[in-house]
């Protein structure tokens, strides 16, 4: 398996062409129909082509090139998405090379990496592209051999006929290019897959481990300058004035200036942000020179006061007032406690929960809280921009190029077809790079400086600049009757500045009397999607609480969950339940069996038995369950092994899927124990990894066993679902280990205090 990368000018559209030497360039739209181009037109094509959509390229020596439409940040879509094309094409994977596609969501579809949607949304379109190309090759062979097309078969890039005639795809590519692209091709049944469901190595793996320049920070261009931004020291402040006289004397510095991210009255799209609107910028020759010169800036800051943003998104156009207070975590916690006592927005109500709680023999009530979390991508935010009066080129790591292009067009006053966004590999994302703020900053700086620039955030910039996981709290209540039956369930959750509640998820639908409520407190601390948004807290609190309910009822934790799911299947309450009880139960039974739930065994010879915790959750269309086995090591709890069960439908690339789950487990354990970002007078108190605690290598589990539910359901997503239930499983294991329930994240702080 090889990998290649070229530079494209995307503004012309190649549908099908003959290459020199007789090969086929077959371009098939993965989200819309495409047609083969005229043979004579193809012969006159220039060596460079533009406005590519999804395509398959076959050379005379039978090398097949596949384009990946979606940005890659380690989830391995650059391997998995082309596998789906190659499957229906019936290609020899050893002869496949892969390239990252250019940004063009008209031809390549959404091109959005996030929400566990990459495999799910391209599952059918990519396979249809491969099937159409295979049929054209079969038709070409049938015409050449003068046999019915139904008698031509394919295997691993070779066309065959019962007469003994055979040809490699490359030999028939030229003729196939002259044929129309067929529609409505029958796709393979899962039982016939030979590439999908078989592990393939990461197509960029060798380049990654050998340090090849794949990332945005690696990008270089002639005449490129480096830019950095000095942002206010606290949320709720803005630039008043500055003195750059000493900065401009520093070696390599070209200029210092201020500019606005958005002009007054600018209408922001759903994923635009406004952390700090006034930008104080230093531009120079090298990163080191700019970093040192920035320290010489003398800036005066002043209170920003309340500001108004005009937002245009799924909820329509609206005005949002952003408070100007200098917020502190201690005060935020007190405010959340106050708001939790106030009436909240009713999100769902089944039965008569008020009466059920009033008449209950026992009521269990617990409150859970979690802090802001920083994304901490290993590659800090960066982007290259070269903006002129006529056009703009932007190159770097971004999760949603199609979402940022309209805003770029407006702030640069350039038509969209004059903006070229090229995607590099991302050094982490999981929501942070879905927000285009840093792209807009880079573009505006280049426009102002009249030069190609690369904007670079330092680690301190990245950690203190916002776009955090929100700060959350939720109170759960359960009502039991005299026979220890669960008769009512109530969740009331809030946060800064959004609430975490998914009202139609489990155990909604499994309890006669159910109430879900939500509230939120405005803030100037900017937040955004963080791996499995809202679910990452909701699952932690809910799954911890269910264990307490199970204990009060005298039930095994897994047994209680399965009983509730059985009720949701056989006699569901309400009509808007998001989850499938059978699929939910399947991961619980699988993890129960694979972990030997009731017989955990011993950790190491002579040591105590494992303290076990379980949790399961549904989000992003998939289901995940974990059993965490905890021991005491050096006087502290340590997760030594984990059993994971996942139902995400058909698993395209098993090794890559396993790696994804393993990463989610380690990430979840680290955030549960250590993750926290706090503020004092508007300033982030954690600024780098010296005081923002991350999980370390020796703290990761020694063993993570991953199991997938085997079914033929179309893929339903994997990047985010394994993450949320890790928190709850850790909390439940901690209870077994310490005899104490933990209601506040991160847990490590409480372990030290206790």
Quick one: average pLDDT of 718-736? 97
Per-residue pLDDT tens over the stretch 381-402: 999 999 999 999 999 999 999 8
The rounded distance, in Å, linking the Cα atoms of 474 and 519 is: 10
The DSSP secondary-structure symbol of 700 reads S
The rounded distance, in Å, linking the Cα atoms of 374 and 462 is: 9
pLDDT at 281: 98
Is the predicted pLDDT of residue 39 greater than 70, yes or no?
Answer: no
Contact 194, 88 (CB under 8 A): no
Is the predicted pLDDT of residue 9 greater than 70, yes or no?
Answer: no
Quick one: average pLDDT of 147-165? 96
Per-residue pLDDT tens over the stretch 302-322: 999 999 888 887 667 888 899
Q: What H or E segment, with its residue span, contains residue 728?
A: helix 724-738
Quick one: average pLDDT of 154-161? 96
Nearest to 729 by CA among 601, 623, 616, 636: 616
- pTM, rounded to two decimals: 0.91
Q: Please, which residues have CB within 8 angstroms of residue 390's CB and are 6 or more apart in sequence?
A: 418
Q: Dihedrals φ, ψ of 385, to 5°? A: -145, 135
Q: What H or E segment, with its residue span, contains residue 724?
A: helix 724-738
What sections of 414-534 are H helices per DSSP? 437-449, 459-464
Least confident of 95-109, 577-591, 727-741: 95-109
The rounded distance, in Å, linking the Cα atoms of 382 and 457 is: 6
Contact 68, 98 (CB under 8 A): yes
Q: Please, which residues have CB within 8 angstroms of residue 265's CB and are 6 or more apart in sequence?
A: 310
Quick one: average pLDDT of 105-116? 80
Nearest to 200 by CA among 83, 118, 70: 83
Quick one: average pLDDT of 732-743? 96
Contact 675, 371 (CB under 8 A): yes
Quick one: average pLDDT of 204-218? 93
The rounded distance, in Å, linking the Cα atoms of 178 and 38 is: 7
Model confidence band, residue 451 (pLDDT cutoffs 50, 70, 90):
very high
Q: Where, residue-wise, is CATH 3.30.365.10 in the chain? A: 2-202, 220-309+377-464, 554-753
The rounded distance, in Å, linking the Cα atoms of 692 and 655 is: 31
Tokens of 52: 């590519």
pLDDT at 315: 67
The rounded distance, in Å, linking the Cα atoms of 159 and 141 is: 7
Is the predicted pLDDT of residue 52 greater than 90, yes or no?
Answer: no
Quick one: average pLDDT of 18-32? 38
Q: What H or E segment, with its residue span, contains residue 29?
A: none
DSSP 528-563: ---SSTTHHHHHHHHHHHHHHHHHHHT--HHHHHHH
Q: Does domain 220-309+377-464 have CATH number 3.30.365.10?
A: yes
Quick one: average pLDDT of 295-300? 97
The rounded distance, in Å, linking the Cα atoms of 99 and 102 is: 9
pLDDT at 228: 98
Nearest to 384 by CA among 226, 603, 190: 226
3-state SS, residue 433? helix
Neighbour tally for 583: CB within 10 Å: 20
pLDDT at 11: 30
Q: Please, which residues have CB within 8 angstroms of residue 395's CB and are 6 or more apart in sequence?
A: 216, 219, 221, 383, 384, 421, 422, 424
End-to-end CA distance of the chain: 54
pLDDT at 113: 84
Model confidence band, residue 601 (pLDDT cutoffs 50, 70, 90):
low
Q: Please, which residues have CB within 8 angstroms of residue 280's CB and are 6 or more apart in sequence?
A: 229, 230, 231, 239, 242, 256, 258, 297, 299
pLDDT at 273: 86
Contact 114, 75 (CB under 8 A): no
Contact 121, 54 (CB under 8 A): no
The rounded distance, in Å, linking the Cα atoms of 353 and 741 is: 26
3-state SS, residue 314? coil
**554-753: CATH, from 3.20.20.70, 3.40.50.1000, 3.40.50.1970, 3.30.365.10:** 3.30.365.10
Radius of gyration of the chain, Cα coordinates, nearest whole angstrom: 28
The rounded distance, in Å, linking the Cα atoms of 248 and 293 is: 8
Quick one: average pLDDT of 391-416? 95
Per-residue pLDDT tens over the stretch 537-583: 999 999 999 999 999 999 999 999 999 999 999 999 998 999 999 99
Model confidence band, residue 35 (pLDDT cutoffs 50, 70, 90):
very low
pLDDT at 478: 98
Largest Cα–Cα separation, the chain: 84
Contact 52, 27 (CB under 8 A): yes
DSSP 163-227: TS-EEEHHHHHHHHTTSPPP-SPPPPPGGG-SSTTS----TTHHHHHTT-S-BGGG---TT-EEE
The DSSP secondary-structure symbol of 145 reads H
Contact 617, 725 (CB under 8 A): yes
Between residues 37 and 278, which one has the greater pLDDT? 278
Quick one: average pLDDT of 28-37? 34
Per-residue pLDDT tens over the stretch 496-518: 999 999 999 999 999 999 999 99
Nearest to 104 by CA among 171, 44, 27: 27
Quick one: average pLDDT of 604-610? 61
Between residues 641 and 64, which one has the greater pLDDT? 641
Nearest to 353 by CA among 574, 481, 507, 511: 511
pLDDT at 7: 36
Residues in the chain: 754
pLDDT at 175: 84
Whole-number average pLDDT of the chain: 89
Tokens of 588: 């619980």
% of the chain with per-residue pLDDT over 70: 91
pLDDT at 753: 63
The 3-class SS string of 327-389 reads CCHHHHHHHHHHHHCCCCEEEEEECCHHHHHHCCCEEEEEEEEECEECCCCCCCCEEEEEECC
3-state SS, residue 567? helix
3-state SS, residue 278? strand
Report the CATH fold assignment for 2-202.
Aldehyde Oxidoreductase; domain 4 (3.30.365)
Between residues 282 and 60, which one has the greater pLDDT? 282
Per-residue pLDDT tens over the stretch 591-600: 999 999 987 6
627-639: b or e for each residue (b if 16 or more CB lie within 10 Å)? bbbbbeeeeebbb
Contact 608, 619 (CB under 8 A): no
Total H helices, total E strands in the chain: 18, 32
Per-residue pLDDT tens over the stretch 226-252: 999 999 999 999 999 999 999 999 999
Quick one: average pLDDT of 492-498? 97
Q: For residue 463, say if its preceding peptide bond is cis, omega within 30 degrees of 0.
A: no
What sections of 468-517 are H helices per DSSP? none
Quick one: average pLDDT of 642-661? 97
Quick one: average pLDDT of 471-487? 98
Is the predicted pLDDT of residue 646 greater than 60, yes or no?
Answer: yes
């Amino acid at each position: 398996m090889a990998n290649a990368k070229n530079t494209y000018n995307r503004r012309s559209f190649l549908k099908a062409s003959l290459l020199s030497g007789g090969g086929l360039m077959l371009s098939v739209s993965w989200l819309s129909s495409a047609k083969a181009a005229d043979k004579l037109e193809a012969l006159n094509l220039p060596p460079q082509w533009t406005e590519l959509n999804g395509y398959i390229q076959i050379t005379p020596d039978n090398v097949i090139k596949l384009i990946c439409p979606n940005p890659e940040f380690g989830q391995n879509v650059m391997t998995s998405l082309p596998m789906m094309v190659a499957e229906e094409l019936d290609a020899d994977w050893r002869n496949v090379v892969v390239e990252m596609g250019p940004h063009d969501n008209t031809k390549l579809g959404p091109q959005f990496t996030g929400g566990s949607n990459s495999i799910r949304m391209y599952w059918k379109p990519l396979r249809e592209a491969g099937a159409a190309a295979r049929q054209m090759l079969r038709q070409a062979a049938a015409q050449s051999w003068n046999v019915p097309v139904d008698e031509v078969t394919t295997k691993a890039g070779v066309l065959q006929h019962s007469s003994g005639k055979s040809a490699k795809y490359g030999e028939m590519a030229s003729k196939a290019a002259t044929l129309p692209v067929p529609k409505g091709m029958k796709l393979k049944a899962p039982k016939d897959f030979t590439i999908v469901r078989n592990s393939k190595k990461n197509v960029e793996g060798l380049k990654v481990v050998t340090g090849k320049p794949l990332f945005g920070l690696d990008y270089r261009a002639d005449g490129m300058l480096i830019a950095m931004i000095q942002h206010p020291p606290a949320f709720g402040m803005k630039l008043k004035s500055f003195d750059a006289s000493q900065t401009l004397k520093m070696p390599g510095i070209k200029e210092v200036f201020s500019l606005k991210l958005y002009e007054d009255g600018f209408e922001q799209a759903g994923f635009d942000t406004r952390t700090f609107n006034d930008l104080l910028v230093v531009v120079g020759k090298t990163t080191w020179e700019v970093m040192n010169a920035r320290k010489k800036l003398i800036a005066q800051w002043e209170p920003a006061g309340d500001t108004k943003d005009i937002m245009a998104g799924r909820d329509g156009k609206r005005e949002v007032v952003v408070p100007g207070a200098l917020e502190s975590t201690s005060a935020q916690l007190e405010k959340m406690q106050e708001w939790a006592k106030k009436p909240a927005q009713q999100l769902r109500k089944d039965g008569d929960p008020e009466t059920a709680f009033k008449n209950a023999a026992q009521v269990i009530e617990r409150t859970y809280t979690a802090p802001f979390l920083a994304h901490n991508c290993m590659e800090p935010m960066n982007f290259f921009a070269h903006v002129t009066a006529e056009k703009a080129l932007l190159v770097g790591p971004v999760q949603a190029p199609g979402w940022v292009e309209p805003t770029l067009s407006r702030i640069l006053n350039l038509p969209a077809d004059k903006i070229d966004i090229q995607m590099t590999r991302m050094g982490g994302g999981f929501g942070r790079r879905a927000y285009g703020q840093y792209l807009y900053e880079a573009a505006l700086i280049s426009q102002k400086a009249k030069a190609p620039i690369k904007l670079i955030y330092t680690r301190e910039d990245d950690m203190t600049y916002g776009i955090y996981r929100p700060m959350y709290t939720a109170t759960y209540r359960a009502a039991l009757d005299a026979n220890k039956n669960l008769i009512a369930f109530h969740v009331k959750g809030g946060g800064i500045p959004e609430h975490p509640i998914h009202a139609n998820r489990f155990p909604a639908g499994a309890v006669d009397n159910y109430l879900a409520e939500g509230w939120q407190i405005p803030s100037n601390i900017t937040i955004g999607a963080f791996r499995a948004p809202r679910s990452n807290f909701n699952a932690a609190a809910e799954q911890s609480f269910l264990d307490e309910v199970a204990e009060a009822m005298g039930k095994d934790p897994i047994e209680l969950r399965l009983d509730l799911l059985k009720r949701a299947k056989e006699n569901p309450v309400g009509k808007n339940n998001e989850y499938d009880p059978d699929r939910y139960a399947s991961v619980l039974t699988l993890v129960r069996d694979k972990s030997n739930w009731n017989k955990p065994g011993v950790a190491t010879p002579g040591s105590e038995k494992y303290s076990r915790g379980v949790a399961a959750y549904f989000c992003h269309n998939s289901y995940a369950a974990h059993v965490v086995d905890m021991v005491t090591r050096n006087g502290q709890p340590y997760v030594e092994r984990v059993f994971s069960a996942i139902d995400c439908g058909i698993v395209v690339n098993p090794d890559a899927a396993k790696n994804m789950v393993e990463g989610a487990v380690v990430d979840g354990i680290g955030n549960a124990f250590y993750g926290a970002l706090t503020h004092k007078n508007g300033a982030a108190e954690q600024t780098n990894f010296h005081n923002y605690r991350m999980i370390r290598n020796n703290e990761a589990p020694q063993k993570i066993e991953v199991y997938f539910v085997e079914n033929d359901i179309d893929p339903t997503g994997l990047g985010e679902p394994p993450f949320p239930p890790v928190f709850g499983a850790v909390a439940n294991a901690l209870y077994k280990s310490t005899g104490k329930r933990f209601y506040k994240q991160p847990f490590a702080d409480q372990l030290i205090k206790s």
